[in-house]
């Protein structure tokens, strides 16, 4: 999916120009016109990067920056500050507060695009440090490691993708066709019963002796990951 940028700016002409340029660069753009909205949107949408103007109504840019850094959901989101000429002192304070970079208005679209690309590149390892969890099961997306109850589970690539799909949709039941499309892709010809084969393998690898079966078979409907079975261990 295209990266989502949150633009926090109250000057309408600049907002429109930024939106136009950023969408042209292939980004999705969300807009907040004040600090309060910015914090709300940042938490709800978890953008990949935040463009934060310094002079804002309701909450100053520096306060927004501070709160973004304090919240778990937004702690690692790169922040690019937008400052006006002559706000040298604010730049230093902004960087101290946790902004990653700043640009002084007016700036060229191409320079802005370059800075954004650099920040996103730098942030990528942190972004993919994401972990998926269900009960005693954890999947580390950066290292491709899966653990159950502290023990490492070695999954083949297809089983890994299957499990990832389940973990990304906790509790949801998928029929074989949906799993085929999600895990193998729509353009690949695979027989439906192939799904059963891989589910069986996934079960065998995930469940050690004496452990509850994490994969739930729903008669006539398909498969799901059991969330509470793991928790009740």
Residues in contact with 21: Cβ distance below 8 Å, sequence separation at least 6, in sequence order: 109, 112, 113
Q: Does residue 53 interact with Ca ion by CB under 5 A? A: yes
**Whose Cβ is closer to Ca ion: residue 55's or residue 95's?**
55
Stretch of residues binding Ca ion (CB under 5 A), selected from 26-34, 50-58, 186-194, 221-229: 50-58
103 touches Ca ion by CB under 5 A: no
Stretch that binds Ca ion, among 19-27, 47-55, 170-178, 198-206 (CB under 5 A): 47-55
Give, as ranges, the residues between 9 and 28 that touch Ca ion (CB under 5 A): 10
Total binding residues for Ca ion by CB under 5 A? 3
- Tell me the residue number closest to Ca ion, measured at CB: 55
- Which range, of 52-60, 119-127, 131-139, 221-229, touches Ca ion by CB under 5 A? 52-60
Residue 55 interacting with Ca ion (CB under 5 A): yes
Identify whether the C-beta of residue 137 lies closer than 8 Å to the C-beta of residue 230.
Answer: yes
Binding region for Ca ion (CB under 5 A) out of 45-53, 102-110, 194-202, 220-228: 45-53
Cβ closer to Ca ion: 53 or 227? 53
Least distance to Ca ion, CB of residue 55, Å: 4
Q: Which stretch binds Ca ion (CB under 5 A): 2-10, 24-32, 112-120, 146-154?
A: 2-10
Beta strands 137-140; 145-148: pairing state: antiparallel
Three-state secondary structure of the chain: CCCEEEEECCCHHHHHHHHHHHHHCCCEEEEECCHHHHHHHHHHHCCCEEEEECCCCCCCHHHHHHHHHHCHHHCCCCEEEEECCCCHHHHHHHHHHCCCEEEECCCCHHHHHHHHHHHHHHHHHHHCCCEEEECCEEEECCCCEEEECCEEECCCHHHHHHHHHHHHCCCCCECHHHHHHHHHCCCCCCCHHHHHHHHHHHHHHHCCCCCCCCEEEECCCEEEECCHHHHCC
Per-position x/- string for 121-150, each x denoting binding to Ca ion as judged by CB under 5 A, each - no binding? ------------------------------
Whose Cβ is closer to Ca ion: residue 10's or residue 140's? 10
Cβ 109 to Ca ion shortest distance, Å: 18
Residues that bind Ca ion (CB under 5 A): 10, 53, 55
């Amino acid at each position: 999916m295209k990266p989502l940028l949150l633009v926090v700016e109250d000057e309408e002409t600049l907002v429109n120009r930024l939106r136009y340029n950023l969408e042209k660069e292939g980004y999705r753009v969300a807009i907040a016109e004040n600090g309060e909205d910015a914090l709300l949107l940042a938490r709800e949408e978890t953008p990949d990067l935040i463009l934060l103007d310094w002079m804002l109504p309701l909450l100053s840019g520096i306060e927004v920056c501070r709160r973004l850094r304090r919240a778990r959901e937004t702690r690692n989101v790169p922040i690019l500050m937008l400052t006006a000429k002559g706000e040298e002192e604010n730049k230093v304070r902004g960087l101290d507060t946790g902004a990653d970079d700043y640009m002084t208005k007016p700036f060229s679209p191409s320079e802005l695009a370059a800075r954004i690309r650099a920040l996103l590149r730098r942030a990528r390892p942190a972004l993919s440090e994401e972990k998926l969890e269900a009960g005693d099961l954890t999947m580390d997306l950066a290292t491709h490691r899966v653990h159950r109850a502290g023990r490492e589970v070695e999954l083949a690539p297809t089983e890994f993708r299957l499990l990832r799909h389940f973990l990304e949709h906790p509790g949801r039941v998928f029929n074989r066709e949906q799993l085929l499309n999600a895990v193998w892709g729509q353009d690949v010809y695979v027989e439906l019963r192939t799904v059963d084969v891989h589910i069986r393998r996934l079960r065998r690898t995930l469940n050690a002796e004496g452990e509850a079966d994490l994969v739930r078979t729903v008669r006539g409907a398909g498969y799901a990951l059991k969330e509470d079975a793991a928790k009740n261990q």
